A and B are shown apart, each in its own frame.
Chain A
């Protein structure tokens, strides 16, 4: 794929499929809108979203009077005056992937000391945003023939993900733990769970159990040579999973430093690596480790982690052109 090598034209009769893959939106409104628009922008036939759709932070916008509000963002308390300020603030936090809710001081005080109430607030806000996303995808992709395949990640609460299953959408397909057809030649299996993390997230399991989940799906695929493995967590020690090693005993987890510098390691899954090495699918798609984007080869398998910069409003993705028997080319994008 180097431009120093001669280009070999695809067989004129061969139909190529263009897949756009991105992951780890973490609630960012702007990123999701870009993702849906990516189909037209990149002339993609298929969209795949690799998990972690729910945001990490909810910001209470506290009503101080009919005109004035206050909200805490990025270490600062902002004073908001009037509807225009309020709208601008909500747009900003939507881009960052956060949720917001306008509330009185009393309501804020009541919620902030009650873990269950905070949980409920997150679920409500996340479901509300997901519902608008599904609606947007259905509207934008209607009649285009483009399918948008979606899975959850380890950060996503199962209860929130239920909304995808029950939405009865036409263009947006929740494809976790099943085999779906991408085009005439390729199928895809998907797993959104991860191996254990120090963050104790909602959907993580022991690596052996993750292996059983994957094997249960992969063993049912008739032709793994033409399959895509869409697993949220990347294969261990693959360079798609490099991040600082963390101390699991602290809350939140802290970086392990030796000799004055951070210890780096591969935080991916052994089970995912084993599955790729054993079945050698055409392509494997991953997310999870935002800072370790890249494309590698594991045997004949092209493995991708586009990384994530959802907080900066940048949609990082990978545009892949699939021929019947090979990944014709790929391109990492920052849209």
Chain B
């Protein structure tokens, strides 16, 4: 039984202290930006692929499903407040083989797809709408044409590579420079998001129809866009008023999880967060950011639907999911930001909304580097990746080689994602793969009190129990179960895009490569007299 004390009853002496760089507030912001207030898929993918599903409920369900996983991470983070997060948690509890294979495949390799996706977001939801919006609001078709270029494969590829390169340079120059810039990204994203909410909540479907038509005409398109799109959708047998479907609503949750599963990403940087061992701090950072983002995303969904109407929501969804041309504007899907720009009709609003999207998209690629280079450094120090990966530049104090390696590895993924049509269907493969990492970490949390007893006993969470059962075990098991179901949904429901032979080959191929890598690395190091197991194996203290 523990209660807060008014005054600490301890004796202290003068000794050196450990001070960390990132404040809990910065980590809270970091998580919200990582979850990405701008992630667009839920808003169009869900109505397109899952008619009858309730968008807002699906997002809230994803938030609720994530809560036990988030709670487990709070226990793990306070027990092991080290950088490397999932890799450290899993290798501590299950050993290096599981930790390396799962995190290498699900995170290090699959998150290369997030590098590609962030470039796609930057081009498709940042720059394209900026120029399309300016073209529309200023009645300037040349600007519209520039906007369209950003939606072409090579437009996206060029933006993606520059995006990855710029983030690498920023981070190599020092983590502190990123932290400084994060505040700019935070406020720009909040402003953009706030503007969209305001525009959606103050609009009506009738006003939207008029403004959308005017916006399309000003951009060089034809008249009556709104009605033409509805007629085309009906002609294509798209049901614009489907009855409620519980299954469809449940299946929206894994899509929304693409965003909300990242509530725990700050765990990769625990070693740099001040007071990372404090329960209170971790609750604010992980659980607080999850709930804040879940509610904001649900609010955006409600507002979006309020503004354009349920009927047109299915038209926009059909543009994305069914390839309905009439449901696109200049070849661009009707994302919430495009709709907001059409509603505003102001070039200043266009710039402000676009800036938020551009900076949040840029923040996402930074996340990929920040998290993965730390994991790679930890793997290299454990002798499972080459030694040069973990070398830290004496001048810049950053693991330059890890950053350069990750940048170079991302280029083929960027090319494949944008040039090979079939790969696009694997977009949510990254959610699936990262999902299994989170599920196995939740399981590691559940088993921590038994498989890493000393570590657990020394952690601040050890005092919290349900009867005799550690709370982390209960939350971890629930989290693993719920997360596991969402992960499996990707494998069995075609609406989530991972049921093709190609998907199975890629998913299991990457896992197999990681497992083989582990055993090869272990064998080679053993021939050199290095026992890789020493990096993970706890020495018995007795």
- A-side residues, CB < 8 A to B, are 1-4, 7, 16, 26, 30, 33-34, 37-38, 41-42, 52, 54, 56-60, 62, 70-72, 74-79, 91-92, 95-96, 108, 111-112, 118-119, 121-122, 154-155, 197, 199-202, 237-239, 242-244, 246, 252-253, 255, 259-264, 288, 290-291, 294, 296, 309, 311-315, 319, 321, 328-329, 331-335
B458 touches A335 (CB 8 A): no
A277 to chain B, nearest CB (A): 13
Contacts of A315 on B, CB cut-off 8 Å? 539
Contact of A77 among B5, B13, B17, B176 (CB under 8 A): B5
**Interface stretch among B108-116, B486-494, B507-515, B520-528?**
B520-528
- Whether the pair B454, A294 counts as a contact (CB closer than 8 A) is no
- Additional pairs, 10, CB under 8 Å, beyond known A7-B527, A72-B5: A1-B387, A72-B8, A74-B460, A75-B5, A237-B394, A239-B393, A291-B20, A312-B455, A329-B528, A332-B535
Which one, B78-86, B142-150, B292-300, is touching chain A? Answer: B78-86
Q: Is B394 touching A329 in the complex (CB atoms < 8 A)?
A: no
List the B side residues contacting A334 at CB < 8 Å: 535-536
Return chain A residues, CB-CB under 8 Å to B12: 56-58
Tell whether, in the assembled complex, residue B18 and residue A76 are in contact, meaning their CB atoms are under 8 Å apart: no
- Cβ of A236 to closest chain B Cβ, rounded Å: 11
B residues contacting A by CB (< 8 A) are 1-5, 8-21, 26, 79-82, 174, 176, 179-180, 183, 271, 277-278, 381-383, 386-388, 390-394, 397, 454-455, 457-460, 462-463, 521, 524-525, 527-531, 534-542
Instruction: Assess whether A34 is in contact with B455, with CB atoms less than 8 Å apart.
Output: no
Main secondary structure of the interface of A (DSSP, over half): mixed
- A321 lies within 8 A of B9 (CB): no
Partner of A335, one of B80, B82, B538: B538
Residue of B nearest to A290 (CB): B18
Instruction: Chain A residues near B3: list those with CB within 8 A.
Output: 76-77, 79
Q: Across the interface, which residues of B come within 8 angstroms of A122, CB to CB?
A: 11, 13
Complex: how many Å from CA A294 to CA B397? 12
Q: Are A34 and B539 within 8 A (Cβ)?
A: yes
The complex places the Cα of A34 from the Cα of B540 at a distance, in Å, of 6
Is B14 a contact partner of A202 (Cβ separation < 8 A)? yes
Which of B383, B390, B542 has the most chain A CB atoms closer than 10 A to its own CB? B383
Closest to B174 in A: A264
Residues in A whose Cβ lies below 8 Å from that of B179: 260-262
Tell me the interface secondary structure of chain B in the complex. Answer: loop
- Whether A59 and B457, one on each chain, are in contact in the complex, defined by CB atoms closer than 8 angstroms, is no
Are A72 and B386 interface neighbours, CB within 8 A? no
B180 touches A291 (CB 8 A): no
Q: Are B21 and A262 in contact (CB under 8 A)?
A: yes
Q: How far is the CA of A137 from the CA of B81 in the complex (A)?
A: 30
Q: Which residues of A contact B531 (CB under 8 A)?
A: 331
A78–B386 touching, CB < 8 Å: no
The listed residue (B19, B80, B278, B392) touching A244 by CB distance below 8 A is B19
Contacts of B535 in A (CB 8 A): 331-334
Whole-angstrom distance between the Cβ of B376 and the nearest chain A Cβ: 14
Q: How far is the CA of A259 from the CA of B381 in the complex (A)?
A: 33
Query: Is the CB–CB distance between B541 and A34 below 8 Å?
Result: yes
The docked-state distance in angstroms from the alpha carbon of A206 to that of B9 is: 34
Contact in complex: A313, B381 (CB < 8 Å): no
- Give CA–CA (A238, B391) in the complex, Å: 12
**Other-chain contact of B79, A96, A154, A312 (Cβ < 8 Å):** A312
CB distance from B400 to the nearest CB of A (A): 11
Instruction: Give Cα A238–Cα B13 distance, bound, in whole angstroms.
Output: 29
Given contacts A33-B542, A259-B180, A262-B176, contact A56 B529 (CB under 8 A): no
* Of A155, A296, A313, A321, the contact of B394 (CB 8 Å cutoff): A296
A246 pairs with B19, CB closer than 8 A: yes
Report whether B381 and A332 are in contact in the complex, using a CB–CB cutoff of 8 Å.
yes
Task: Jot down 13 A-B pairs with beta carbons below 8 A, ordered by A.
Answer: A1-B387, A3-B525, A4-B386, A37-B539, A41-B537, A77-B5, A77-B9, A244-B20, A264-B174, A294-B392, A314-B455, A328-B529, A334-B536
Q: Are the C-beta atoms of A199 and B541 separated by less than 8 Å?
A: no
> CA separation between A242 and B271, bound complex, in Å?
13
- How near does chain B come to A319, taking the closest CB pair, in angstroms? 6
* Cross-chain contact of A239 among B8, B394, B542 (Cβ < 8 A): B394
The 7 closest A-B pairs by CB, nearest first: A76-B2, A335-B539, A77-B5, A33-B541, A72-B9, A58-B11, A2-B386
Contacts of B541 in A (CB 8 A): 30, 33-34, 37
A264: chain B residues within 8 A (beta carbon): 21, 174, 176, 397
| Minimal beta-carbon separation of B384 from chain A (angstroms) | 9
Write out the residue numbers on chain A whose beta carbons fall within 8 Å of the beta carbon of B10.
57-60, 72
Given A244-B20, A331-B535, does the pair A199, B15 have CB atoms closer than 8 Å? yes
Closest to B278 in A: A75
Contact B15 A201 (CB under 8 A): yes
A77 and B4 form a contact (CB under 8 A): yes
Given the known A-B contacts A57-B10, A202-B14, are A7 and B176 also in contact in the complex, defined by CB atoms under 8 Å?
no
